[in-house]
Chains A and B, each alone.
Chain A
Amino acid sequence: MSDLLQAAIASNLESLQFAGPELALTISILVIVTVDLVYSGEKRALMTGLTLAGLLWAVWSIVGLYGTEPRSLFAGMMALDDFGLFFKLLMAGTTLVVVVFGIQSTDIDEKLAEFYAVLLTIVLGGFLMASSTNLLMMYLTLELVSLPSFILAGYQRHVQRSNEAALKYVVYGGVSSGVMLYGFSLIYGLTGTLDLFEVSSRIAAQGGLDLTLFLAATMSMAGFGYKVACVPFHFWCPDVYEGAPTPVTAFLSVAPKAVGFAMLARFFYVGLSSYDGTLGTSLAGQWPELLAIVSACTMTLGNLTAIWQNNLKRLLAYSSIAHAGYMMMGVVMLSSAGLQGVMFYAAVYLFMNLGAFFVVLLVADRTGSEDIKDFAGLGWRSPFIAAVMTFFLASLTGLPPTAGFAGKLYLFSAVVEGGLWWLAVVGVLNSAVSLYYYWRIARTMYLEDPAVAEPLGIPAIATVTLAVLFAGTVVFGIYFGPLSDLTAQSTTLYAPVQAAAQAMLR
Chain B
Amino acid sequence: MESKLLTYLIFLPMVGAVLIGIAGKGRDGVSRWLALTVSIGTFAMSVPLFTRFDETTAAMQFVHQVPWVETLGISYAVGIDGISVLLVLITTLLSVLAILSSWTSVTNRVREYMISMLLLETGILGVFCSLDLFLFYVFWEAMLIPMYLLIGVWGGERRIYAAIKFVLFTLAGSLLMLVAIIYLYFEHGGATGTYTFDLMVLHKYSVDADSQSLLFLAFFLSFAIKVPLFPLHTWLPDAHVEAPTAGSVILAGVLLKMGTYGILRFCLPLFPLATAQYTGMIMVLSVIGIVYGALVAMVQTDVKKLVAYSSVSHLGFIVLGIFAMNEQGMQGGILQMVNHGISTGALFLVVGMIYERRHTREISDFGGLAKVVPAFSAVFLITTLSSIGLPGLNGFVGEFLILLGAFQANLTLGVVATSGVVLAAVYMLWMFQRVVWGDVGEANSKLQDLSLREWLVIAPLLVLMVWIGVYSDTFTRRTEVSSRHLIQMVQTRQMAGAGKSMADLQLSETTIAGRTSTRSVGEQGK
Contacts and interface: CB of A to CB of B under 8 A. Distances in A.
B160 A443 contact: yes
B175 A400 contact: no
B358 interface: no
B179 A425 contact: yes
A182 to B, nearest CB: 39
Contact of A428 (B71, B152, B178): B178
Nearest to B69: A481
A401 B72 CA distance: 16
A446 B152 contact: yes
Contact of A409 (B144, B159, B164, B182): B182
Contact of A446 (B153, B167, B185): B153
Interface stretch (B135-143, B273-281, B482-490): B135-143
Contact of B160 (A432, A435, A447, A488): A447
Nearest to A390: B145
Contacts of B178: 409, 412, 428
B176 interface: yes
A7 interface: no
Contacts of A429: 172, 175
B164 A400 contact: no
A170 interface: no
A400 B153 contact: no
B168 A436 contact: yes
Interface in A408-449: 409, 412-413, 416-417, 424-425, 428-429, 431-432, 435-436, 439, 443, 446-447
B319 to A, nearest CB: 24
A420 to B, nearest CB: 11
Contacts of B515: none
B134 to A, nearest CB: 8
Contacts of A110: none
Nearest to A406: B69
A275 to B, nearest CB: 21
B109 interface: yes
Most buried by A among B69, B142, B144, B148: B69
A498 B176 CA distance: 39
B116 to A, nearest CB: 10
B2 interface: no
A435 B137 contact: no
Given A446-B153, A447-B160, A399 B145 contact: yes
Contact of A484 (B72, B149, B182): B72
Nearest to A435: B171
A371 B112 CA distance: 26
A380 B109 contact: yes
Contacts of A443: 152, 160, 163-164
Contacts of B152: 443, 446-447
A485 interface: yes
A480 interface: yes
B137 A400 contact: yes
Contacts, number: 77
A431 B175 contact: yes
A424 B164 CA distance: 24
A394 interface: yes
B109 to A, nearest CB: 7
A429 B174 CA distance: 11
B179 A447 contact: no
Contacts of B148: 439
Contact of A399 (B69, B144, B160, B168): B144
Contacts of B109: 380
Most buried by B among A390, A431, A446, A488: A446
Nearest to B25: A383
B164 A439 contact: yes
B186 A417 contact: yes
B210 interface: no
A305 B68 CA distance: 38
B171 A446 contact: no
A452 B316 CA distance: 48
A35 B367 CA distance: 86
Interface string B175-200: 11011001101100000000000000
A428 B141 CA distance: 14
Contacts of B142: 399-401
Interface in A471-486: 479-481, 484-485
Nearest to A413: B182
Nearest to A408: B178
A412 B182 contact: yes
Contacts of B160: 443, 447
A304 to B, nearest CB: 15
Nearest to A416: B182
B442 interface: no
B70 interface: yes
A432 B167 CA distance: 10
Contacts of A390: 145
Contact of B145 (A394, A424, A447, A479): A394
Contact of A432 (B144, B163, B168): B168
A44 to B, nearest CB: 36
Contacts of A436: 164, 168
A412 B109 CA distance: 39
B167 A439 contact: yes
A400 B123 CA distance: 12
11 contacts: A380-B109, A400-B138, A400-B141, A417-B186, A428-B179, A429-B175, A435-B167, A443-B160, A443-B163, A479-B68, A480-B69
Given A399-B145, A412-B179, A446-B153, 13 more contacts: A400-B137, A405-B141, A413-B185, A416-B186, A439-B164, A443-B164, A446-B152, A479-B69, A480-B69, A481-B68, A481-B69, A484-B69, A485-B71
Interface of B: 68-72, 109, 137-138, 141-142, 144-145, 148-149, 152-153, 159-160, 163-164, 167-168, 171-172, 175-176, 178-179, 182-183, 185-186
